[in-house]
Structure 1
């Protein structure tokens, strides 16, 4: 009956398609507003949240089936042990479901994928989800409201830095409830504590005394692809006592030039992504790049990834904070007890706490070194 009602609504929407749909702006709700009503029967649970677009959404009943159309949020479900809730994804490729994800959640490769971020309303209905998490790029088109109009709750939990992640995970926790909410509350508290502590350790360092840190995304040997300032990248670099090179290039720059990097001559270069080992090799061997101070002083670093890249978004970004201090200010890190051994402990503790999965120390060290669970490089140097 529920599905029939949704199909009927689709027919009505199709008839009315000549009328334009009002576009929703991409804004963030400053304070996640939540109301919740719970009875003894969890199927009667009702939650009303204000999502990151400022839209108020009410969700009735227990959430058992979620379609996630924003790949950056996919890893969060696996990390908190909620992979069984995912019944549909925008994409299901090795870039999204990597070897670490498959280790932690073997069924991840079997989750159906739509092959895009805005499947048809009919496709959504056929999956019969309890909730849809939309891609932020579809907000202005009114896509989330189209889904709500057929009786399926849809929310936007967009994030780009630590502050917005805290808001997003507060909303997601309220929506999911139970043990998932407890884990996300714990994560938010851990993030706040960890950021505060390393910022206290580095706040005395003037900009002039901070090493300039250039981040390359690890897009094969394309070393000029970076990430803009005023993002999570500049956040962890500067919290850990570095100066983000993107601020010297223009704050919205994602593609720079070799000449610009050579002029800046960074003190540290961090290679992210699955191509990180290829990028590191290119830095060490390419003319011009190998003459940079970061290369000559052996201050090129690969960056770990688990279900998702630590340096980007998601719950595993909590691990990036200590790792960043270890890379950027090693003496301060050592004085604070942050060593390679402590980072390995950090990795095993993290997955025990949030994923209920016990990694071996060897596996944890492999992750720390930007490798797959078996110790191999995902994309090796040719």
Structure 2
């Protein structure tokens, strides 16, 4: 009887040691007895973060926009963050669903008994923090996330150091969507531009990704425009934009779709994003 009691105590202690909890961006504490082994990700940056931490094998499905790294190509697609296929997700019996804090699917998924962790990085500090949260969900210690972040941070610094002094005086407009929505100074894209030493024409006071009146860009008259190919059509033909220095002097970096995905996702590929921006500045800055 004594041996049985000791064995039970040891089992309980082992389970307690394995149990984990994560507080997501809603302030909700999510708990598991053992680290999740079946994960659905509904946000590309979270998919990429999990894989960069070496945990791609735990993914059982991703959203339609997740397209990196290559090993996720054969995974089931379960819609987008705004319109996920709830039935398909439930059928996969995930231990957790990773998605954006802004997703409207959270309440529905939780009502069906699924554990949800809502994370939405918007700044460099957020990316570092979210890496830690994703690592915790996967059952990794904090050191794994810190190692990934140090590599990102060092690579962004290296990209900045690669630029000649004259490039650092460039005034840049970065368009993320043709509405037009811009990357403001307070966004993760804006923070990368700041670390590269250039000036963002969109001030922090307007928010991270403000919708602009196109006349704002005309008045700001940037030296260089960065935009993805998906959103570049008709940009130079907007009223008054022919007078903008970047348009007049053909100082536009139009990034192909694959590079654009890298640039607009706040995750482990921010280092590559910094290199792409630095290359643009080296080639196009006045």
In structure 2, the partner of 1:250 is: 206
| Equivalent residues in 2 for 1:49-198, closer than 5 Å | 49-80=22-53, 82-89=55-62, 91-92=63-64, 96-98=65-67, 101=68, 104-105=70-71, 108-114=73-79, 117=82, 124-138=89-103, 142=107, 146=111, 150=113, 152-177=114-139, 184-195=145-156
Residues 89-115 of structure 1 show CA distances to partners (whole Å, capped at 9, x for unaligned) of 3x42xxx145xx4x822x525414156
Give unmatched runs, 5+ long, in structure 2: 1-11
Residues 340-381 of structure 1 show CA distances to partners (whole Å, capped at 9, x for unaligned) of xxxxxxxxxxxxxxxxxxxxxxxxxxxxxxxxxxxxxxxxxx
TM (normalized to structure 1)? 0.57
In structure 1, the partner of 2:7 is: none
Shift of 1:196: 5.3
Q: Report the CA distance shift for 1:217/1:233 in structure 2 as closer, same or farther (over 3 A).
A: same
Any conservation in 1 of the 2:40–2:59 contact (CA below 8 Å)? yes
Aligned residues: 270
TM (normalized to structure 2)? 0.73
In structure 2, the partner of 1:375 is: none
In 1, Cα distance between equivalents of 2:111 and 2:208: 32
In structure 1, the partner of 2:196 is: 240
Q: Report the CA distance shift for 1:125/1:256 in structure 2 as closer, same or farther (over 3 A).
A: closer
Any conservation in 2 of the 1:262–1:289 contact (CA below 8 Å)? yes
Shift of 1:118: 6.8
In 2, Cα distance between equivalents of 1:314 and 1:326: 20
Any conservation in 2 of the 1:161–1:231 contact (CA below 8 Å)? yes
Give unmatched runs, 5+ long, in structure 1: 1-36, 333-382
Note the aligned Cα RMSD (angstroms). 4.1
Identify the structure with the greater strand proportion. 2
